[in-house]
Amino acid sequence: MVSTAFTMAVAKGRILQDAEALWQNSGWIWPVANGTRQLWFPPQKRQPGLIIARGRDILTMVRLGIADMGIVGHDILLEYGSCGLLDVADLKFAACRIVLAGQTQEWPQGPVRVASKYQNVSQKFFETLGHPVEIVPLSGSLELAPGLGIAPFIIDIVDTGQTLKEHHLVEIHTIHHSSARLIANPARWRTQRQLIEARNKLMVAPQPIVK
Ligand code: PRP
């Protein structure tokens, strides 16, 4: 008998919150019990396995075939590249933007220091503008950077805008739009029919309710 088991890796955070609804709307049982810290749920009969990991690590897992498919933000693909992976579909939830923000709406003048966890995206953005830049790498809580004097500008994800507002920051420019993307290991995609079926289920599933 041909196995129908496959495993999907889902990014922690916003994507994971919305993935629960998407999973259920696709007719699968969400395996994550309330309050659990468990990160790996092996596949069951007719139920995909689930791995919960950081977006960047999901690229590695799908590339290695540890997971057959993954759901990550487009921001992760923009930053780290989808090299060797199939970008199967835009699932259109967990929408957000990568923006340049600062304490005023003024564009940076002269050589500029920018804090970001998107170092490649940031470098490329300023390079395209021909604007000299120093990127200060931070891995989170970017909105602290201007107030603490780490860097006057940040490049970060904005969803509701609340975090920027609470740190007296304003958007200057939207660099990219992002939403959840379904990615796949190319060899598995070619040989495992159930992955295409899973894609079809996810694509027709009603959108997760935005909280
Ligand atoms: C993201 C992002 C902002 C915040 C924006 O952070 O880095 O801090 O969400 O959301 P908002 O526009 O709705 O306020 P996340 O919570 O993912 O954590 P991080 O800062 O540690 O990356």
- pLDDT digits 0-9 by tens, 9-45: 999 999 999 999 999 999 999 999 999 999 999 999 8
- Ligand 1 pocket, 143 CB below 6 A? yes
- Ligand 1 pocket, 157 CB below 6 A? yes
Two structure tokens written together for 197: 């079926």
Q: Which residues pair with 82 in a beta bridge?
A: none
**pTM > 0.75:** yes
Residue 2 confidence (pLDDT):
47
The pairing of beta strand 180-184 with beta strand 86-90: antiparallel
- Ligand 1 pocket, 159 CB below 6 A? yes
Which atom of ligand 1 is nearest to 117's Cα?
Answer: 22
Residue 149 confidence (pLDDT):
98
The dihedral over CA atoms of 139, 111, 103, 177, expressed in degrees to the nearest 10, equals -60
Amino acid at position 193, single letter: R
Instruction: Give 73 Cα–ligand 1 centroid separation in angstroms.
Output: 13
Residue 4 confidence (pLDDT):
65
Give the mutation target among 97, 100, 163 for probing the ligand 1 site: most ligand atoms within 8 A of CB: 163
Work out the angle at residue 74's Cα, subtended by the Cα atoms of residues 136 and 41, and round it to the nearest 5 degrees.
Answer: 105
- Ligand 1 pocket, 139 CB below 6 A? no
- pLDDT digits 0-9 by tens, 158-203: 999 999 999 999 999 999 999 999 999 999 999 999 999 999 999 9
Instruction: Give 110 Cα–ligand 1 centroid separation in angstroms.
Output: 28
Block residue for tokens 């997760």 = 208
Which atom of ligand 1 is nearest to 141's Cα?
Answer: 20
